[in-house]
Amino acid sequence: MSLRRVLALPGWAEHVRVVAGAAGLDRPLATVQATLDASRTPVAGELTVVVRPVAGTDWRIDALLRRCADAGAAAVLLPGAAPLTASRLLADRLAVPLLGTGASPLDLLVEARLLLAAPELDRAELLLATHRALGDRLRPPEEVVAVLRRLLRSPVAVLDDRGAPLAGEVTGRVRLDEPVPQRTDLDDGVLVAHPVLLQRPALWLAAELRGTEAARADVVPPALAVAAGALQRWLLANRLELERDARSRTALLGDLLRLDTEPGADLRRRVADAGWRLGGWHVGLHIGVPAAVDTVARTQDVVRALRAEDVEAVVVEHGDGWTGWVTFDHEPTAARVRSLATRLQAAHRTLHLGAHMGVGRPHARPEGLAATVAEARDAARLAATRPETGHFLHVDQLGMAQLLLEWTRTDTFEPAARALIAPLLDAPGDLVRTLAAYLDAESSLAETATVLGVHRNTVAARVARISQLLGVDLSRPDERLALHLASRAVTLD
């Protein structure tokens, strides 16, 4: 055991300071002995604790330091006044740690001897203290961080699954792809981390132990495991509450979108309880995401991204992502709608969820809400197939595409469309998407290649293959129109 380990004990960390000789903090420590004054002759590995205050001018301090160096002792602890500069320089030269304290030396001696006699006692006491502090009730990440920061006297943070801090702050990096307890050596300390597991690491709990606290790197992990359990309980309870709220909001949105008359008193009350507005002018938005995205857990990320662009919107988990709207007191001008669309597009870029977003036109009153949301969903469906627009579309950008989209929703069209392009579905080379992009680009090989991110020769080869498999002439307008509609219907499915 080294002197650093003793200095990391709670009482020593609070009341003992290293006056000089810091280069010797890694000296091995074997025993802790008390002496009334500075006249003792220490033995190898001894921490000499002087019980009575010694004047800083006492020559025996220098003599004791020399005897410690000769014997290979660990350090000297002095109560009272700080020693002279000459004594501090001597301790630095000999690399013998000279410690000072204003607390009771005997109390510190007992704490150090207990550590030497039962090294696991410190671990057990920290574990018990953590359990007592966190085990009585559910605590959010901010409270867990505050408790651990006090117990460990070190920076502590709760990190999300991307490594961004939710509470607290650490400078070290957790290996997010390794969902196991971790220890990482830093330049001047140690980073210890523990995953908070649900189906996969949802959060990480990390503590940065620097200076003398790094000596407790073997003691801290069990306390982090207890704290991770507390965070797991909070996550589960919070998840249940989020899912309950999400179901309530989704059900309320469904009732509003099915509304074909003036809303009744009960519906108006539920809308008011949710903090939504039915009056005014609404601009709908819809954000679609891949099925792997946890929309309930990510709702607040969407809200924060919108607010960062000064967009105050209702956001509801709905369908393949989120449906929402922005409400204006009066009919917005075209300039205000364009400004809103620009800010929504900026927010969309920051989401990093593989999302596609559509925005509707302004519509008034409750009945207008369903109309603008429907437009936004149409725009989002088409945005999913438009990488050239950044997977973002305003309904005014759709033009004839919106009319065609309505037509392709009929019960008979989709089976006919699938039958028409069936030879392309299992063929290699992403031929259906290539066909849709080629016809969108008005048969431009260069533009199609840019959209797909491939060489124009690759596009030319695919188009020739498509013509061969389908037995069509893509220069004929009627065949082009039928294939355009069919490929669009299949890619939007």
Residues in the chain: 493
- The pTM (predicted TM-score) of the whole model is 0.56
- Which architecture does CATH list for 274-397? 2-Layer Sandwich (3.30)
- 3-117 and 274-397: same fold? no
* CATH class of the 120-235 domain in this structure: alpha beta
Q: Binning pLDDT at 50, 70 and 90, where does residue 479 land?
A: confident
- pLDDT digit string (tens) for 313-323? 999 999 899 99
3-state secondary structure 235-248: HHHHHHHHHHHHHH
Q: Is the pLDDT of residue 482 over 80?
A: no
Q: Mean of the pLDDT values across residues 414-443?
A: 82
Alpha helices in 384-455 (DSSP H): 400-407, 413-420, 422-425, 431-440, 445-452
Q: Is the pLDDT of residue 360 over 50?
A: yes
Mean pLDDT over all residues of the chain? 87
Q: Is the pLDDT of residue 65 over 70?
A: yes
- Give whole-number Cα distances, 210 to 7, 155, 170, 190, 217, in Å: 12, 9, 11, 6, 10
Q: Is the pLDDT of residue 377 over 80?
A: yes
Measured CA to CA, the distance from residue 220 to residue 194 in angstroms comes to 10
Q: Mean of the pLDDT values across residues 359-365?
A: 92
Domain boundaries, the chain: 3-117, 120-235, 274-397, 408-492
The predicted pLDDT at position 403 comes to: 47
Q: Is the pLDDT of residue 397 over 90?
A: no
The backbone region for 182, taken as left when phi is positive above 0, alpha when psi lies in -120 to 50, beta otherwise, is: beta
The predicted pLDDT at position 408 comes to: 57
Measured CA to CA, the distance from residue 401 to residue 390 in angstroms comes to 18
Q: Mean of the pLDDT values across residues 398-404?
A: 53
Q: In one letter, which amino acid is 89?
A: L
Q: Binning pLDDT at 50, 70 and 90, where does residue 83 land?
A: confident
DSSP 56: T
User: In 11-119, which ranges are E strands?
Assistant: 16-20, 31-35, 46-50, 75-79, 98-101
* Higher pLDDT, residue 35 or 491: 35
Measured CA to CA, the distance from residue 117 to residue 121 in angstroms comes to 9
40-69 burial, b at 16+ Cβ within 10 Å, e below that, comes to bebeebbbbbbeeebebebeebbebbebbb
The predicted pLDDT at position 109 comes to: 92
Q: Mean of the pLDDT values across residues 147-167?
A: 91
The predicted pLDDT at position 404 comes to: 54
Q: Is the pLDDT of residue 128 over 70?
A: yes
- pLDDT digit string (tens) for 260-275? 778 888 998 898 888 8
Q: In one letter, which amino acid is 103?
A: A
Q: Is the pLDDT of residue 388 over 70?
A: yes
For strands 314-318 and 281-288, give the pairing: unpaired
Q: Which fold has domain 3-117?
A: 3.40.1390
Q: Binning pLDDT at 50, 70 and 90, where does residue 493 land?
A: low
pLDDT over 70 for what percent of the chain? 94
DSSP 263: -
Q: Binning pLDDT at 50, 70 and 90, where does residue 96 land?
A: very high
Q: Binning pLDDT at 50, 70 and 90, where does residue 200 land?
A: low
The predicted pLDDT at position 258 comes to: 87
Q: What is the CA radius of gyration of the chain?
A: 35
**Angle, in degrees to the nearest 10, between helices 105-117 and 120-134:** 100
Measured CA to CA, the distance from residue 87 to residue 57 in angstroms comes to 9
Superfamily of domain 408-492: PucR C-terminal helix-turn-helix domain (1.10.10.2840)
**Angle, in degrees to the nearest 10, between helices 220-257 and 120-134:** 20
Alpha helices in 118-209 (DSSP H): 120-134, 141-152
